[in-house]
Structure 1
Amino acid sequence: MKEIRFIDLFAGIGGFHKALESVAKKKKLDIKCVFVSEIDKESIETYSSNFSIDKEKIINIRDLDDNMSGVPEHDFLFAGFPCQTFSNAGKKKGFLDEIRGTLFFDIVKILKIKKPKYILLENVKHLVNHDNGKTWEIIIKTLKDDLGYIIPKDPLILSPHEFGIPQERQRVFIPGVLREKTSLKDEYISFNFDDLKSNNILNSSNSSEIRKYIFDKFLEEEVESKYFLDKEKDSYLLNVFEAWDDFLKNVEKPEGRTLPVIWADELGKKYHLKSDMPEWKKKYITDMRNIYKMNKDFIDNWLVKYEVEKWKKREKKFEWQAGKEVTDLKHSFIQLRQSGIRCKKPIKFPTLVAMVQIPIIYDDFNNAWRYLTPRETANLQSFPKKYKIHNEIKPENKDFYSYKQFGNSVNVKIVSFIQEHLLNNY
């Protein structure tokens, strides 16, 4: 096969690029990145350092002229584009007028002029329902009807945990093949995920087996001390964890049920539930009152023992989402959310996001609580060990940039799966 030339739009730290490198190595292909757009200077630093691309050549897509003369000819267009509300102004003037002024419009201008054979776009799952589905409808009709790309019939929503990677991160992908550059008569692109499902260890019913797999494959044995909760500096949070672990292990629960959502400030309260209170809130409070009634003596002592009234609002709210078979706080994955402490089943991590809400785990290697490291977030996004993360390139910078970059990135394994499928079948 000839050299595959590609462009990387809204490139971030190069997840699409790294994925295609993986496919090229496997299929013995020659690839060449001929254009990159990105505006975040820290991401540009990371991208440039990993792909030997001059930082000065990574530009803002909005700096291109209307003829896209700065974009070379290419075979594959990648874009993890931002989602913007589209206008109603173009109702009578066609799809291109409706998207004018959005960043998606810049992608369309390139596609219309350069006509690459393949495209792969990515966005948050919410894009499908954005603006009551209007945004998605315009995007699909623009790609399919105006530009002539063959795309999947239904939204292709995928998450790393479906590929054996312990992170729940649903994203919508839009792969496409230009009809005029293929002899295939298919109306839609199709995928088969049967092998992925049958070989996915995360589908095992043995949570201990899954936990071992996660620690062996995705977590690091040698971790800097700054990521561990310190006995003195973090004594408050460690006390909170100890308290909720005590609560989890010792309160009696209704038969066949796990622990409901607990708001410590509600325990022991007896006020009348108002008729206009939302049904979900009524249920939460009713469930909590039932737990309190069943465990009054233990809970009254627990509230005093751990001085719960002095806690901050967030730590007083506890969501146990790890199921009945997990009975130890240390065997859950913890996320500190604005809405409270959420404990997930130890088979997948919650969606990675910027610097806030970095998951906390109990480190079996070091017998201590700690945050995931930036390198571990890279592992959960399927970046290889040799990939240089931002805090290795710029050690003087805070971890914030590394967390943010992986929180905003595509998952390399998912993208390479789609890329290879397109190259093999279309």
Structure 2
Amino acid sequence: MKKNNGKIRFVDLFAGIGGFHNAINKVANDMNMTTECVFVSEIDEYAIKTYTNNFNISDKNIINIRDVDEEATNVPEHDFLFAGFPCQTFSNAGKKRGFLDEIRGTLFFDIANILSKRTPRYILLENVKHLVNHDNGKTWKIINDKLREIGYLIPENPLILSPHEFGIPQERYRVFIPGIYVGPEKAKTEFLHISLEDRKKMNPLSNMNANEIVSFIKEKFLESDVDEKYFLASDPKNQYLLDVFDAWNEFLINVKKPEGRTLPVIWANELNKSYRIPSDWAEWRKKYIIDMRNIYKNNKDFIDQWLIKYEVHNWKKRELKFEWQAGKDINDIRKSFIQLRQSGIRCRRPTKFPTLVAMVQIPIIFDDNKKGWRHLTPRETANLQSFPKNYRIFNEISEDRKDFFSYKQFGNSVNVKVVSYIQEELLKIDKKTL
């Protein structure tokens, strides 16, 4: 592929809402270059609507990657190929079928086919970090071997990164595969040396204490005036959940914890039980039970009254489990980030948000301005994925203004800032050494 030093021509596969596209535009602007998106593949109609409302591309020009012919003749020549290929089949949340998944798993080979026919100078692929360990590492080896066989110089070890390592308060580890085309002979014997350690050293979060990080998050990532619809109290159906939050907060504040430790995982329906622990239970489960029994033993009077006061026996299964992960120095759930998981209520330390996911488990925070629990807004999730302020999100452009699709789209997206760092590093390495 002949290099064009003034313009970066790229293809955006499994494009979603354009995380890679946003990133390369930023990089090109910083490096005094221009970009041209020459090919886009995506099948989600709602993502396509968001994509076309933000970039100068018609939905008629966005196709299913399955419609690319065997010789990739409908894919124009390009300098950079991006692909955040579907991850459900490799993730811990999925069925982990990998390449046995006839639809999603084999989509990597559609990427490989385009690469073998068009050999763009640069590639950047992204997936969930579990891809590295899937099928005892066999899936990762297949992908790496195939890329080297085509002629791409790639790192020897997986490049696993999270936004919180670069000043974005979200823990979201993903594996990235950057590459530069050098031909099969060199690619099979050498490795691409890429490091973002200098970028990590510039992380502003690393030099802040917890209170400073909380202030930083409020200033840079959260909105100051949030619509009432995002508050749990706006829907009477949420009163039960608000009562549960109050109950667990009272529990957290009043129970005596083990000396030098924070509150262990609590299953409310286990607190006053005394059955013999089965010997064949997993060690982690045995420890949970023992820890809870010690908490109950040291707080029996309070807990017995608490169980009655809040009618805990009527709670749903999810609300019975309480995981405190906010540390020993915080003793109020209003100071934590709440993640409602299928398995229970998890309270995180308020210095970074949990991974945004497509399953729409939107974090819940206590809004100090309006004194109430609320979900993050779609715009706040956009901020946590480093999308620019002028980016038009789905609920702003759709007639029904549904938030569901906005949350889903940002949960599926790459983080723009992390991706832009890798893209820029690839371009710089190429100029210096290859």
TM-score normalised by the chain length of structure 2 = 0.92
Give the residue type in structure 1 aligned to 2:153. I
Tell me whether 1:4 sits opposite 2:16 in the alignment: no
Tell me whether 1:258 sits opposite 2:262 in the alignment: yes
Residue 177 of structure 1 aligns to a residue whose secondary structure is: strand
| Correspondence for 1:214 among 211, 214, 217 | 217
Cα gap change, 1:368/1:395 in structure 2, threshold over 3 Å: closer, same or farther?
farther
Tell me whether 1:357 sits opposite 2:361 in the alignment: yes
Partner of 1:173: 176
For 1:180 and 1:141, the matched residues in 2 are separated by 13
Partner of 1:425: 429
| Correspondence for 1:302 among 287, 302, 306 | 306
Tell me whether 1:164 sits opposite 2:177 in the alignment: no
| Correspondence for 2:28 among 14, 24, 28 | 24
The structural deviation recorded for 1:424 is 1.2
Residue 336 of structure 1 aligns to a residue whose secondary structure is: strand
For 1:358 and 1:214, the matched residues in 2 are separated by 17
The alignment yields a C-alpha RMSD, in angstroms, of 2.2
| Correspondence for 1:118 among 115, 122, 137 | 122
1:286-323 deviation digits (Å, cap 9, x = unpaired): 00000000100111111111111111111111000111
Tell me whether 1:47 sits opposite 2:51 in the alignment: yes
| Correspondence for 1:336 among 331, 340, 361 | 340
Partner of 1:389: 393
Cα gap change, 1:87/1:329 in structure 2, threshold over 3 Å: closer, same or farther?
closer
For 1:61 and 1:12, the matched residues in 2 are separated by 13
The structural deviation recorded for 1:202 is 2.7
1:242-279 deviation digits (Å, cap 9, x = unpaired): 11111111100111000000000001101111111111
Counterparts of residues 360-371 of structure 1 (less than 5 Å): 360-371=364-375
The structural deviation recorded for 1:355 is 4.7
Counterparts of residues 225-304 of structure 1 (less than 5 Å): 225-230=228-233, 232-304=236-308
The structural deviation recorded for 1:365 is 2.4
Partner of 2:414: 410
For 1:273 and 1:13, the matched residues in 2 are separated by 50
Residue 269 of structure 1 aligns to a residue whose secondary structure is: coil
Counterparts of residues 175-194 of structure 1 (less than 5 Å): 175-180=178-183, 187-194=190-197
The structural deviation recorded for 1:327 is 1.3
Contact 2:394/2:402 (<8 A) preserved: no
Contact 2:132/2:139 (<8 A) preserved: yes
Contact 2:151/2:187 (<8 A) preserved: no
Give the residue type in structure 1 aligned to 2:229. K
Residue 126 of structure 2 aligns to a residue whose secondary structure is: strand
Contact 1:34/1:72 (<8 A) preserved: yes
TM-score normalised by the chain length of structure 1 = 0.93
Contact 2:8/2:80 (<8 A) preserved: yes
Residue 330 of structure 2 aligns to a residue whose secondary structure is: coil
Residue 37 of structure 2 aligns to a residue whose secondary structure is: strand
Give the residue type in structure 1 aligned to 2:155. P
Cα gap change, 1:124/1:185 in structure 2, threshold over 3 Å: closer, same or farther?
closer
Cα gap change, 1:269/1:87 in structure 2, threshold over 3 Å: closer, same or farther?
closer
Contact 2:13/2:85 (<8 A) preserved: yes
For 2:56 and 2:241, the matched residues in 1 are separated by 43
Contact 1:119/1:177 (<8 A) preserved: yes
Tell me whether 1:68 sits opposite 2:81 in the alignment: no
The structural deviation recorded for 1:199 is 3.0
- For structure 2, which runs of at least 5 residues remain unmatched after alignment? 90-97
What is the number of residues matched between the two proteins?
Answer: 416
